[in-house]
A and B are shown apart, each in its own frame.
Chain A
Amino acid sequence: MSRKKSKHEFRANTLPAMLTVGPVTLIMILLIAVPLLYVAVMSVCSLDEYYNVTFKFTLSNYTRLLNADYIKIYIQSIVIALVTTVLCILIGYPFAYFIARTKSKKKKILYMLVIIPFWTNSLIRIYGWRSFLGTSGWINSILQGLHIVNEPVDLLYKQGTTILGMVYCLIPFMILPLYTAIEKLDTSLLEASSDLGARPSSTFFEVILPLTSSGIFSGSLMVFIPCLGYFFVSDILGGGNSDVIGNLIERQFQSGNNWPLGAALSIILIIVTLILVKIYQKLGGDMDSLGV
């Protein structure tokens, strides 16, 4: 009887669950859990005299991360990410508001303007900026042509250039969640606010902003986190003078040839990300709007 029942249960509950969830679970294990575990194990391995990775347990990779020079780069990276996030909000918010509030036909075009650059590889677009901002690039040619300046202006290979590149690369991640949040905004609330005598500015700060704060939160998270890792932007536009955490990781896997140290750095970056997501959740953030 019990055997029969369990067989029945298996067919009724377990089998469909296995068939439907099984493949996804398998993919998650193979493509996410296993590589993550590999990185975690790698981060406690040591190197032999020929710089081969050996499976000898050590925590020295993690203690090395507390080196003052590394910490300065973490701080530099966090500052770059913070400035980028704030700029993305300042530029992205009015833009998203504008798209969300325009009438149908134009809206689609504006929306596409945000999406279309995604279809080109970001490396190519960043290289484009490099030739655009260079000493013999467009900006300098125009400025000199109009006799605004006599000597070419130095625009490239500075921390500011890195931030410009980051803002350029990541602003769609700010605009899209903001757009969704503003789109959902109930216009009758705005009317009510003005009917009750609120000035436009107080309507904005007391009604619109609190109601769209979820968009700002998720947008900030989606800008801030990649910003810590986008090593190619600081490589190409910062000229290697404004490294972010991603540069540290990349160097250990490439020229430094110290994979365990690179793995330890990656683990730290993953932990920072998880903490930020947790804070986001605690503040009442919606996981769906992060696309997870």
Chain B
Amino acid sequence: MKKKILSIIMAMTMAVSMFTGCGGGKDVASNGELNVFIWTEYVSEDAIKAFEDSSGIKVNVSTYSSNEDMLAKLKSESEGTYDVILPSDYAVENLIAQDKLEKLNKESLSNLANIDESFLNKDYDPGNEYSVPYEGGVACIAVNKAKVSKDIKSYDDLFDPELKDQLVVLDDYRAVIGITERSMDLSMNETDPTTLSKVGEKLLTLKDNVKLFDSDSPKSALIAGDCTVGMIWSAEAALAKDENPDIEVVYPTEGSYVFLDNWCIPKGAKNYDNAMSFINYMLSADAAKMNIEGFPYLCPNKAALEMMGEDYINNTAKNVPTEVISGGEFLKYLDADTLKTLDDMWTKLKE
């Protein structure tokens, strides 16, 4: 019996030392590993596989479904758990402010030239010292033309009582309050309490129109016909349009809510060089093409766009026009008191 236990312990020690050997460094046969922490349903598995094959680096993927989720995990895990993350604009701003990101070594990013310049040097990271854009999107309006006679052009049109019980909107308080603010020609990042109380009043008039709050798959309610108008992410609208040609994508006249997700390296990453080559690969035209084919979000990679067919280029839902982006607004990280006010407004909407 004792012998048996001893042999099990020995086998376990050997197994453990084998693993440490693998993760140890680049001197072993493989080229080490890389821990990436990315959005679910957002980065093509084919692209990751292709990177593994060409570089010999083993990629371990973990996923999250909200920026807040990602920030919380990043805080609770020890430094160095993740080598690459993919935060949205305002989350990048937050991470920079907390000094949680490594600077990117621009010299090793030979593919950065593929990125359209209009997506670089944004307010949340001037000079792109810490982040480079991956994909993005717009909170656009999707209308089922066969069922809605009203000509919807703006976020403000969504508040029309005629649309009672027709809407599917994102189950996301920053998005819904943000478009309410845009519809009043305000910024999505207002912090003034009196302005916000006016926004809150208008927000409540949306209540009767909303039939469904859904962030996971708002397109299904549109495709099935349960809802006829949607305020949803552009890629979802594009996929809905593919399924049902009656659905039309509208970019609001007030200027849209725009987001951009970015590759970053968190502070203390253990595989910095591997992370840089991964990011550089993701900026390549081939990888970007695989990614937008899988997930047709807004693509800042102009080299990849050149490889896409006419169908894609002319589809304004997938290939969001540049003026929509330049006329749009990003979210900003707001102070705790303002977020509290927004949360109260949201609770009122949902009661």
Contact = CB atoms under 8 A, between A and B. Distances in A.
Q: For chain A, what secondary structure do more than half of its interface residues adopt (helix, strand, loop), or is it mixed?
A: loop
Given A240-B212, A241-B210, A76 B351 contact: yes
A135 B213 contact: no
B325 to A, nearest CB: 24
Contacts of B173: 255-256
Contact of B211 (A131, A152, A157): A157
Interface residues of B, number: 34
B346 to A, nearest CB: 8
B351 A240 contact: no
B257 to A, nearest CB: 15
A241 B344 contact: no
Interface in B300-351: 333, 335-336, 339-340, 343-344, 346-348, 350-351
Given A49-B335, A135-B225, A255-B174, 16 more contacts: A50-B94, A64-B340, A76-B351, A134-B224, A135-B226, A152-B225, A235-B171, A241-B213, A243-B350, A248-B347, A251-B346, A254-B68, A254-B69, A255-B68, A256-B68, A256-B173
Given A69-B344, A157-B226, A255-B173, A239 B75 contact: no
Interface in A253-268: 254-259
B52 interface: no
Interface residues of A, number: 36
Interface string A3-38: 000000000000000000000000000000000000
A256 B348 CA distance: 14
A230 to B, nearest CB: 16
A215 to B, nearest CB: 35
Contact of A69 (B75, B94, B348): B348
A243 to B, nearest CB: 5
A72 B351 contact: yes
A70 B347 contact: yes
Q: For chain B, what secondary structure do more than half of its interface residues adopt (helix, strand, loop), or is it mixed?
A: helix
Interface of B: 66, 68-69, 71-72, 75, 94, 97-98, 165, 171-174, 210-214, 224-226, 333, 335-336, 339-340, 343-344, 346-348, 350-351
Contacts of A157: 211-212, 226
A51 interface: yes
A212 B214 CA distance: 43
Contacts of B339: 51, 256-258
B68 A134 contact: no
Contacts of B336: 47-49, 51
A240 B171 contact: yes
Contacts of A257: 68, 71-72, 339
Nearest to B68: A257
